[in-house]
Amino acid sequence: MKALTQRLKQFYRPLEIQEGEPNPLPIVGAALVLFGLFQYAYIIYPLQPGSADWEFLTIKALVDNAFTPILGVALFLAGYTIELPLWRLAGARILTWFSLVMAVIFVLLMPLAVNDALRLSNGMNARMATAQNISATQQQKVRKALDNATSMEELEMLTTVLSLTPSLEQRARQMPKDSFVERREWLWETIKSNQKRMLDETKSLFSANKTTLRKDTLKCVGGSAFVAAVYFYFFFAFRRVRRKYRLIQDDE
C-alpha cells in the first residue's frame, strides 16, 4: 500500500518551478485580466444609463464574459512562490483591490438586474394590453361598418381595405346564392377569426419573451452572485499571500 501511495504521488505532485526559472503563469494571468477589462469596456460603451434594455443586456454580457478576468486572476495567484519579485508584489497588491472592487460591482448588479427585469416585464404587459385593446377597438369599428353597410359593393370595399383572405369575390364564387345578410355575417366571422389568430400569435410571442426574460434574470442574478463569491475568495487569498510575504520579510 505504501509503495502504491508513493507511485501515485509521482503522478500527482504539483508543478515545481526552480528558483531562477521564469514562471509564465503570472504573466499570462496579467494579460488575461487586461484583456478581460478591454472586453468589459467594449461591452459597456456607449453608456446608456436609465435604459432598462441596455442595462439588462449589459449585465448579461458582463456575466457571460466574466470567465476571462477570473482565469487571469487565478493564474496570477497560481503562480505564487515564496520569492516575490517587485512586479509580482505590486501586481498582487493591485489584484487584491481589483478583486474587491469587482466583487462589490457584481453584488450591486444583482438588485439592478432584478429591477430592470421588472421594468421590462411591465413594458411587455403594457404592450400586450395595448394589443388587446386595439384588437377589441378594431372589431367594434368593423362591426359598426358592417351594420351600416347596405350593398354588396360596400362589403367588397371592406374586404379590400382589410385585405381579407379569402376575399368576398372568392366567397361569391363558392357560394353564389348567399344573401346579403349571410355574406355580411360570413365577413364578420372571417374578420373575428383573423383578429383572433393575430392576437393568439401575439400572446404566444409574449409568453415566449416572458419565459426568456425569467431565464435571463435567473442567469444574471445567479451568475453575478457566483462571480462575486469568486472575487471575494481572490481578495482574501491575495491578502493571505501578501501577509505571508510580509511575515517572511520580517523574519529575515
144, part of any domain: yes
**CA 201: distance to chain centroid?**
24
133, part of any domain: yes
Per-residue model confidence as pLDDT tens digits over 26-49:
888 889 999 999 999 999 988 898
Which residues form the domain of 235? 25-251
Q: State how far the Cα of 232 lies from the Cα of 40, in Å rounded to an integer.
A: 19
Whether the Cβ atoms of residue 121 and residue 243 lie closer than 8 Å to each other:
no
114, part of any domain: yes
Amino acid symbol at 31 = A
Nearest to 239 by CA among 95, 30, 31: 95
- CA 47 to each of CA 44, 55, 58: distance values in angstroms, whole numbers, following the listed order: 6, 9, 10
- Domain count along the chain: 1
Nearest to 196 by CA among 138, 149, 244, 124: 138
Sign, CA torsion 132/137/143/149: negative
Per-residue model confidence as pLDDT tens digits over 53-70:
999 999 999 999 999 999
> Does pTM top 0.85 for this prediction?
no
Sign, CA torsion 234/235/236/241: positive
18, part of any domain: no
1, part of any domain: no
- Name the more confident of 101 and 192: 101
Going by the DSSP 8-state scheme, the letter that residue 14 receives in this structure is: P
Per-residue model confidence as pLDDT tens digits over 135-153:
888 888 888 888 887 777 7
61, part of any domain: yes
Average predicted confidence (pLDDT) for the chain: 81
Instruction: Compute and round to an integer the Cα radius of gyration of the chain.
Output: 33
Q: State how far the Cα of 131 lies from the Cα of 213, in Å rounded to an integer.
A: 20
39, part of any domain: yes
164, part of any domain: yes
pLDDT band at 223, cuts 50/70/90?
very high
Q: What is the grid cell recorded at 37? A: 477589462
